[in-house]
Structure 1
Amino acid sequence: MVKHHVYWWNLESLFDIENSPRRSEFLNDHLGVELKEWDSVILDKKIANLTSIISKFNDNNGPDILGVCEVENEHVIKLLIAAMNMSLNKNYGFVISEGGDKRGIDTALIYDNAKYGPEQDIFSLRVIKRNTTRDLFQVHIKTATGNKLIVYLITGLLAQEAN
């Protein structure tokens, strides 16, 4: 029986420094105090702290699959993955769902390329009440044994189903 070491983590506002949608007037009005000191030094420290903990998952082997939320964009997820790859000597890939949340808060799926093939199929569903919020994000990937693994990223939750 093949085990998949699957984890979920809220990165709690892993924001970018450049090309950041959060620098809009809306965000400055709503999150100005929290963002005032956010700079490259703090971003680098946050990436280092996250990597330190994530590297301990799965008996210090790192996750096979890691679903994350509250990541601003592709650039910062690439920074996190580069740090994870260096720390764990692995080659992680990712898929991100760039949602319509005005705060720039998205979900992403990180996976070990040695154990999973490139994504086959991606499906997103935006849940809209008054404003767009995080998506329901479904990703189909192949396992090393050729099976399909369907991973669902739901606000605050990660579920999996294999066939």
Structure 2
Amino acid sequence: MNQIPPSVNEKILTSVHTKLHPKVSYLLGKVFLAHILSSIITLSVCPQFGFKIFKLPINLMHTFMVFGLPVCNFLCGLFFTTTSMLIASIVLNRDEVRALRHKEVLAASVLILSSIGFFGIMNPNLFIEFSLLWLLGAVLGVILTVEISSRVLARA
């Protein structure tokens, strides 16, 4: 049998490795851009900590408040990050979503900490209003969405 020349073999292995293991900075950059875009939509529909981008007739916060403030905080955090990760799952290719699944804690940290930082800049009273239930919902939103989207894309 003919052997593959070492230079061709190395190029193939490098190409496969690059596709299967994208750079974390590149991956998080794409997720962060998707988060910024989805935040504009999300904050227009469901204000977070009193911050609203556009005034639309749809307001999920009023719907969530029917269940009480703790449930509203949880659902707002869940909705905020789930929307971001759904858009990120659409933007990313299958291998990037699979790689993100192994870095979901890092992705959750980047999204949530950047969001809290933004809300803190826009609303100095954030830390008075901040709820651990919002944080729990936000973390669950990222982790569950990454898990579900990676499993769905694995079957596609």
- TM-score interval, normalised by the smaller of the two chains: under 0.3
Work out which structure has the larger RCO, using CA pairs closer than 8 Å and 6 or more positions apart in sequence: 2
Higher strand fraction: Structure 1 or Structure 2? 1
Q: Normalising by structure 1, report the TM-score.
A: 0.26
Q: Identify the structure with the greater helix proportion.
A: 2
Q: TM-score, normalised by structure 2?
A: 0.26
